[in-house]
Structure 1
């Protein structure tokens, strides 16, 4: 759909002139062009987000952020409000506002009309030819569809469970620049929630000692973040999934070409396999 809509958008003037000259029975109405231009804009944003999600080096945390950014972009189109609380839903004016099917998002129909007019002269001309009554009905339908799309993005999650279903668990923060934003109470709650999984790698008699050690390490990280300016600057400038080896290790003063990267990957893979050797020996088939 995105490619088709993009093609029509690129050649819209020539197509319009041809249709006006030939006047075939299949000539679309003015409203069709308005819908097409909106679909192209929405699908272009979606396609860009999908490309981010499909990158091999994109972390799950960045996937969630990409989806959240897409939802925010759609909300900005019509200045949508939401998610709405039960109290906020009571003040919705159904004559002026439109609401998503799950009642979580609302927007003024007039804001959709404004957004369509801002798309340029081609769309504005089509709106004028369509007439006010027709455009009011179309704007309401488009607003409803966009709000449902926004609400649907709330249900899109990057995590999957063992059955390849949607996981209800939110991945805990694990990277240093994420951990320094937590307070001690929240960090302890996260570790306790993951204790059963973590304990599989602990010696049973030292479980409590290991818990205490982890919390001590966390406090040391927080203190270092507050007191050591180079560390704080490094963590504040971290963008997962976007930095390169050369930028992170520029002190080495040389670039890693494809052959050196292959050697690095091979040695890293060897280390990972070596660490799991004893565990792999215990497996029975």
Structure 2
């Protein structure tokens, strides 16, 4: 959702700072990448859940406290563990968006964050191939929250 090379807002405390209009604007900025992963119906569900998250943050004190306790050092799992079941499409979208931006530095950074190393085989893959590997691994991680 942010520009390539920077960290996209993928945790709830960052999302509640974005208005619904700004969230949609960011989605549109990256529509050409998202079209490969999401239908327009799925994007609408994500946008609706973002609006619901903002509303819940404003109107539910306990949820607000949970969200406000997060920081930039919070992990994806920690950030979404209590909210993922309530906002599953938004959580999945935030997990996928983190891997959509092409470029070697992003791929290397993601490997570092996940404590993985490029083995000999992975060094021969293009960045697109590496993104596929990372998305497959991340899918398994995100799937944990749905069960």
The normalised TM-score by structure 1 is 0.25
The normalised TM-score by structure 2 is 0.45
- Structure number, greater radius of gyration: 1
